[in-house]
Amino acid sequence: MKNTTYSILPSCVAIILLLIFISIYYKTSDFKAYEDVIATMSMEKANNFFTEYPNSSYKDRLVNEIIEWCKQQRTEECYRMILTAIPKDHIRYNELLLYYKTYYKKDGL
């Protein structure tokens, strides 16, 4: 009688390796878009991200990274661009708008 344990083992190992490979290299489309925005810090790409993936789990993370980047830049233009890119209903939008109005003495965008 043939031992079936040894004939099934390579198949199981191959399936496990395939699943590991997929989990390591597969990225969701919103994660790829998030990485692209972070790599380029393009407010146009950020705006497209917020439009295309309004419910993405990376939305808040992206807003926070953009704000941190802008704090390093310390320019009025950077904050103005953020305010045009971030959705108006985002929780940090009003905070940024207040900062922009206070620090740069501007009333509107």
Asked whether residue 20 is assigned to any structural domain, the reply reads: no
For residue 96, the enclosing domain spans 27-104
The pLDDT tens digits of the residues spanning 21-75 come to: 666 666 778 888 888 887 888 888 999 999 999 999 999 999 999 999 988 888 8
Asked whether residue 44 is assigned to any structural domain, the reply reads: yes
Asked whether residue 34 is assigned to any structural domain, the reply reads: yes
Confidence of residue 3 (pLDDT cuts 50, 70, 90): low
Query: Token match 């043939």: residue?
Result: 2
Q: What is the spatial distance between Cα 29 and Cα 53, in angstroms, rounded to a whole number?
A: 9
Asked whether residue 43 is assigned to any structural domain, the reply reads: yes
Domain count within the chain: 1
Tokens of 49: 């991200």
Q: Quick one: which of 84, 91, 85, 92 has its CA closest to 108?
A: 84
Asked whether residue 8 is assigned to any structural domain, the reply reads: no
Asked whether residue 19 is assigned to any structural domain, the reply reads: no
